[in-house]
Structure 1
Amino acid sequence: MMRKSSAFFLVILLLATVVLAACGGAQPSDGGQANGGAAAQQPAEGQSSESGGSQEPGSGEKKETSSLERIQAEGVLRVGIDASYPPMEFVAEDGKTPIGFDIDLANAVAEKLGVKADFTIIDWAGIQAGLLGGHYDVIMSSMTITEERQKEMDFVQYLTMGIAYASRPGVEVKSDADLADKIVVVQEETTAQYYVEDLMANKGIQPKELRSFPYATDAFRELANGRADVVAIDAPVAGYYAQLDPDQYRVTGFAEMEPDPIGVALRKGETELRDAIQKAVDELQAEGVIQELQVKWFGDAAGH
């Protein structure tokens, strides 16, 4: 959710944890109350209800239960998503059903594990705190793998993404240099935002204005309304919008950077679960499933 890199993670973690504790924080995909859902009640790895296990007769000791064993026993892999990032993850026309690339991939991974995926929708600002607080088992929401995040979480990479420039009609932003004197919009707290800010601070490229919004949909709305010249965003997202309305959105160029790794995020120490997901992703890659999903959801942007 390459989108998704946060310099303010510690502050967000504290704030989001308070919010999650106060009102449930996460919204289950079936529209139910988070406080009453199993995902909202799931403790983190290492907490008593996760690792306490059962006491074997005569042993006097409790047998540890791994996350993978618990997931397989319950038959459910709980997945945290920010459903505001089409085509990666968003909500269908019924207003509650998650769809998108990450949703299809999560379902495929869950099937490999012999379980079903259950999705918890939560705003991006609180998604890491929700994982670390045990509200779901993994995050599969286009999360960029960064050094900072690897200090807090483990990852299984399944994709790489570059940043694309989606321009309004009459504007051609083909390269980083073309951002100069343009009104640039991004989704806040994303790698695209940080990339453009780095260009401004270190490369001497000065947009007329850089504005950020909580959701990708807001950024593209600014472009459609003529209040912005270009959206800097993950290439698959830009490609999706260009296919959705080619009269309003066009992918005119790409950032001059190496694509970033995207991965499934897990809590630290859940080795068996991480290895099982890695095996599932490797098999889906070898079977061509991941490439098929890229073509299905990304279209012409599948290679970026």
Structure 2
Amino acid sequence: MDLTSFKRAAAGRIVAGLCAVCLLSGLLSGCAGPADSDSPKTDALPVITVGSDDYPPFNYQDTSGQPTGIDVDLATEAFRRMGYRAQFATIDWEEKKDLVESGAIDCIWGSFSINGREDQYLWTQPYMYSRQVVAVRKDSDIYSLSDLAGKRIAVQSTSKPEELFLNHTDPHIPAPDEVFSLQNRELLYPYLSKGYADAIAAHETSILQCMDDYGLELRILDEPLLAVGLGVAFARTDDRGLAQELSRTFSQMRSDGTMQHILGKYLKDPQKYMEASSYAND
């Protein structure tokens, strides 16, 4: 064997050895999953731009400034299975409909309630369920929704609670004296703690997360405003079939345990949030 042939054979043995190590490592660690999203193979995939605002535990930045949360992990894994790479854009939540219809983003995915918006977007099936609730200070004299009559309540603008309190279409939700519609969701809590508002309304999961993160002592009313399904919204003119394919991918992720695993990283009792029956009596 000449020197050139020897070098080629040696290089072949090195490459084969590296492949075996990589294969073994993949088998031991589990090669499928969101962690693959940063691989060169995933980087080459076509991009799907996901629009959301900052809304822990669904979408927020970790200590290194990278997007994380329930919706980020679900989107990363679901689109990877579909052959896409999820790219996350922080948007002005009030402009979400214009952004998705103009094509600036491909979909809206941010703890987005389907209920009451069925005809406004092309939706996936719900990937989880949530309660819209009212929270008050520990010393508040508000104990039921009926106690909100004549009170001041703070909500995020264009949210489902804003719609419920402004439109007065639900007889069990009384008319408050004033509704503060805030563009920045994080301002809800200072409004409540400073006494500008008597109550706030939002997703229960988000309120619980904020209470845990900042040590807030709030009381959530037992009676919810609404039990909702959370979905991913595309423009009604979107003809790529992504909503339908994403719904099928959600079903696969439920069946193989991925959905429960991801929710379990952020929520206690994740199975509760995956079943509509959990809120059947709300």
Normalised by the length of structure 1, the TM-score is: 0.66
**Aligned mates of 1:204, 1:281 — CA distance in 2:** 33
- Asked whether 1:298 is paired with 2:267, we answer yes
Deviation at 1:172, TM superposition (A): 5.4
Alignment correspondent of 2:207: 238
**Aligned mates of 1:297, 1:174 — CA distance in 2:** 28
Alignment correspondent of 1:182: 151
SS in 1 for 2:79: helix
Deviation at 1:168, TM superposition (A): 1.4
| Residues 146-225 of structure 1: pairs in structure 2 closer than 5 A | 146=115, 148=117, 150-171=119-140, 173-199=142-168, 202=171, 205-225=174-194
Deviation at 1:271, TM superposition (A): 4.8
Amino acid of the structure 2 residue aligned with 1:87: P
Say if 1:102 and 1:224 are closer, same or farther in 2 by CA, change over 3 A. Answer: same
**Aligned residues of 2:51 and 2:105 also touching (Cα < 8 A):** no
Say if 1:172 and 1:155 are closer, same or farther in 2 by CA, change over 3 A. Answer: farther
Say if 1:148 and 1:248 are closer, same or farther in 2 by CA, change over 3 A. Answer: closer
Residues 250-272 of structure 1: per-residue CA shift (max 9 Å, x gap) = 32434253x22221112334353
- Asked whether 1:289 is paired with 2:265, we answer no
**Aligned mates of 2:267, 2:62 — CA distance in 1:** 17
Say if 1:174 and 1:106 are closer, same or farther in 2 by CA, change over 3 A. Answer: farther
Unaligned segments of structure 2, at least 5 residues: 1-41, 274-278
Alignment correspondent of 2:32: none
Alignment correspondent of 2:230: 262
Amino acid of the structure 1 residue aligned with 2:181: S
Deviation at 1:147, TM superposition (A): 5.5
Give me the identity figure in percent: 20
Alignment correspondent of 2:75: 106
Report which of the two structures shows the higher radius of gyration computed on alpha carbons: 2
Deviation at 1:79, TM superposition (A): 3.0
Deviation at 1:83, TM superposition (A): 2.5
Question: Paired residue for 1:86, among 53, 56, 59?
Answer: 56
The CA RMSD measured in Å over matched residues stands at 2.9
Alignment correspondent of 1:125: 94
**Aligned mates of 2:214, 2:220 — CA distance in 1:** 11
**Aligned mates of 1:142, 1:212 — CA distance in 2:** 18
Question: Is the deviation greater in 183-192 or in 259-268?
Answer: 259-268
- Asked whether 1:75 is paired with 2:45, we answer yes
Say if 1:295 and 1:172 are closer, same or farther in 2 by CA, change over 3 A. Answer: farther
Say if 1:173 and 1:82 are closer, same or farther in 2 by CA, change over 3 A. Answer: farther
**Aligned mates of 1:172, 1:285 — CA distance in 2:** 42
**Aligned mates of 2:135, 2:264 — CA distance in 1:** 19
Alignment correspondent of 1:277: 246
**Aligned residues of 1:79 and 1:140 also touching (Cα < 8 A):** no
Residues 190-244 of structure 1: per-residue CA shift (max 9 Å, x gap) = 1111122344885572434321100210111212333222211111111212222
**Aligned mates of 1:274, 1:204 — CA distance in 2:** 33
Residues 5-45 of structure 1: per-residue CA shift (max 9 Å, x gap) = xxxxxxxxxxxxxxxxxxxxxxxxxxxxxxxxxxxxxxxxx
Unaligned segments of structure 1, at least 5 residues: 1-71
Say if 1:215 and 1:180 are closer, same or farther in 2 by CA, change over 3 A. Answer: same
Deviation at 1:284, TM superposition (A): 1.2
Alignment correspondent of 1:14: none
Say if 1:97 and 1:286 are closer, same or farther in 2 by CA, change over 3 A. Answer: same
- Asked whether 1:135 is paired with 2:104, we answer yes
Deviation at 1:74, TM superposition (A): 5.5
Question: Is the deviation greater in 170-179 or in 144-153?
Answer: 144-153
- The count of corresponding residues between Structure 1 and Structure 2 is 231
Say if 1:183 and 1:246 are closer, same or farther in 2 by CA, change over 3 A. Answer: farther
Say if 1:251 and 1:79 are closer, same or farther in 2 by CA, change over 3 A. Answer: farther
